[in-house]
Structure 1
Amino acid sequence: MGAGPGDPELITVKGARLLKQADYVLSTGSLVPRELFDGISAEVEDSKGLDIDQIVDRLATAARTGRRVVRVHTGDPAIFGAVQEQRARLHALGIPTATVPGVTSALAAAAALDAELTLPGLTQTVVFSRTAGRTPMPPAESLAALAALGNSTLCLYLSASLTDKVARELVAGGRSPDTPVAVVQYASMAHKQRILRCTLATLADEVRAARIRAQAMLLVGPAVDPHNKERVGEFDSRLYARDFSHRFRKAADTTHGSTPRTPRGRCFEPAATLEPGHE
């Protein structure tokens, strides 16, 4: 289960319910807020001192005795969650698993910046990645390779201590040294969140000066330029344009200034609660 980026209010409703119903909770500790476990009856254990075999043994033992087990990770388990090695071992033991998503730190960082990562006409691509550290990167996924993806917004996890390398590889891959960068440390966490704005040219020096080395997300690309908020109309989507039709709304005739009318005998009531996409 994903516990979200650190703000206890950002856990999903389903996640909160499962914690209340649990008998045994194994948490990653670190950035999982302790407030999530206030008032629950489950046994709660911290796994940060355990290796993979000890983790799987605890989860399997609890499950085999009929206890309701919740494994809690920070952010969203699907993004750098290190859950596959646990899932595979549990399945090999005949123990089924299910995943409850959470808010990943890249999205919490974007919210802290009050920014949209996919601006029409600027970029429609977001990349979740990291720079190589103790865990190597596949050759085709180096930062230099990812830099070639136009104006895409790069969300770099686990890279705050390697900002010299990040800037060097992205510039070598074709990104301008003036590319906007936002560094968000402790995204969503009250009284701890910090936001640092810079460029690739100044990234390493600014991060060193701010003494940021961990628990920080790097967002790179023109979509995080703070001046975007001043550019009224420049990044408008087609979704709300008056001359754009979709199944919920007929386009206006902008050539004569008329307003659309619902044709007789046709129902434009939405068939679902989902909003249409931008295309």
Structure 2
Amino acid sequence: MKEIKPGTVYIIGAGPGDPELLTVRGMHILQQADTVIYADSLIDKQILSYCRSSAHIVTSSDHHLDEIIGVMVQAVQQHHVVARLHSGDPAVYGAIAEQMRALATHHIPFEVIPGVSSVFAAASTLKKELTVPGKSQTLILTRVEGRASELPQGASLSHLARFPATLAIFLSAALAGKVTRELLDAGFKESDPLVVAYKVTWPDEEIIWSTVKTLSEDLRHHRIHRHALILAGPAIEEYASDIRSRLYDPAFSHLFRQPQEDKRGTTT
């Protein structure tokens, strides 16, 4: 097992909600952590069950960046193992870049522990493959522009949705009307299906099948405006035809397998 070092900050992806989806590395760090700073508005409190009773628990929703860094710096000066818990995988909409820069400025060692993103948890719950041969071989993780998020030029949902890709639309449930407008601008039809994965893997998880046209109405009906991921694109549709990859096709050869027609001397 890799060493867990006192005087180090561990930025941990807590996963989508289910404590059992935390990585083993993340669990081991929480079990040894002296100080834990966690995104309490986004993470199921059950994740804290891995922590020692003596651990100092700090919420981050009511603190700004300088205050959070201050807690980390003080804890490291006390030679603590510090766990900074983020929801999902911290590399996606985790706002960790600014924290890592601040830690580097203070010459504080840190490590990032990946987590299960809600997009993959949603696919698992839906029993869907997000990359379907001949339909979608690209997955786009994006969001619509909001009050706290300015998008670069050319990165709007209406632009990205023109590609034959599966769209995982984060942090946009409160802007459902804008999601609908931008999908329609991109060429989606009003009847095209969407999936809303609300608090996926939490005890109160909801999976809502909607359409481009009815998205706002369905979210209002279910009183959902946060903790939700919207999935769109050809991969989420129900296909009647038997779509198969070539990887396991008996006539397809690769490094580890010859096609059946070569082994038998006949065409399959």
Judging changes above 3 Å, is the alpha-carbon distance between structure 1 residues 35 and 23 closer, same or farther for their aligned structure 2 residues? same
Q: Structure 1 residue 8: deviation in Å?
A: 0.9
Q: Distance in 2 between matches of 1:168 and 1:101?
A: 34
Q: Which residue of 2 aligns with 1:202?
A: 214
Among 235, 245, 253, the residue aligned to 1:245:
253
What amino acid is the match of 2:105? A
Q: Which residue of 2 aligns with 1:32?
A: 43
Q: Distance in 2 between matches of 1:254 and 1:206?
A: 54
Q: Distance in 2 between matches of 1:80 and 1:32?
A: 14
SS of the counterpart of 2:110?
coil
Aligned pairs (5 A) from 1:140-219 = 140-150=154-164, 152-190=165-203, 192-219=204-231
Q: Distance in 2 between matches of 1:39 and 1:182?
A: 32
Judging changes above 3 Å, is the alpha-carbon distance between structure 1 residues 14 and 47 closer, same or farther for their aligned structure 2 residues? same
Q: Which residue of 1 aligns with 2:28?
A: 17
Aligned pairs (5 A) from 1:121-136 = 121-134=134-147, 135-136=149-150
What amino acid is the match of 1:112? T
CA contact (8 A) 2:69 2:99 kept: yes
CA contact (8 A) 2:30 2:50 kept: no
CA contact (8 A) 1:23 1:68 kept: yes
Q: Which residue of 2 aligns with 1:106?
A: 119
Higher strand share: 2
Aligned pairs (5 A) from 1:57-76 = 57-76=70-89
What amino acid is the match of 1:249? R
Q: Structure 1 residue 219: deviation in Å?
A: 0.3
Structure 1, 28-37 or 160-169: larger mean CA deviation: 28-37
Judging changes above 3 Å, is the alpha-carbon distance between structure 1 residues 240 and 141 closer, same or farther for their aligned structure 2 residues? same
Q: Structure 1 residue 73: deviation in Å?
A: 0.5
Q: Structure 1 residue 258: deviation in Å?
A: 5.2
Q: Structure 1 residue 53: deviation in Å?
A: 0.2
Cα deviation digits, residues 20-58 of structure 1 (max 9, x gap): 121111111123222222253222211111000000011
- For the pair 1:8 / 2:19, whether they are aligned, the reply is yes
CA contact (8 A) 2:191 2:213 kept: yes
RMSD in angstroms over aligned alpha carbons?
Answer: 1.9
Q: Distance in 2 between matches of 1:125 and 1:39?
A: 36
Aligned residues: 254
**RCO comparison, higher one (Cα < 8 Å, 6+):** 2
SS of the counterpart of 2:40?
coil
Q: Structure 1 residue 259: deviation in Å?
A: 9.9
Q: Structure 1 residue 185: deviation in Å?
A: 0.6
Q: Distance in 2 between matches of 1:257 and 1:30?
A: 63
% identical equivalent positions:
39
TM-score normalised by L of structure 2:
0.89
Cα deviation digits, residues 125-178 of structure 1 (max 9, x gap): 11111001111211210111111112x111011100111110111111222323
TM-score normalised by L of structure 1:
0.86
What amino acid is the match of 2:73? A
What amino acid is the match of 2:20? E
Q: Structure 1 residue 254: deviation in Å?
A: 7.3
SS of the counterpart of 2:30?
helix
Q: Distance in 1 between matches of 2:258 and 2:150?
A: 51
Structure 1 residues not aligned, in runs of 5+: 261-279
What amino acid is the match of 2:108? I
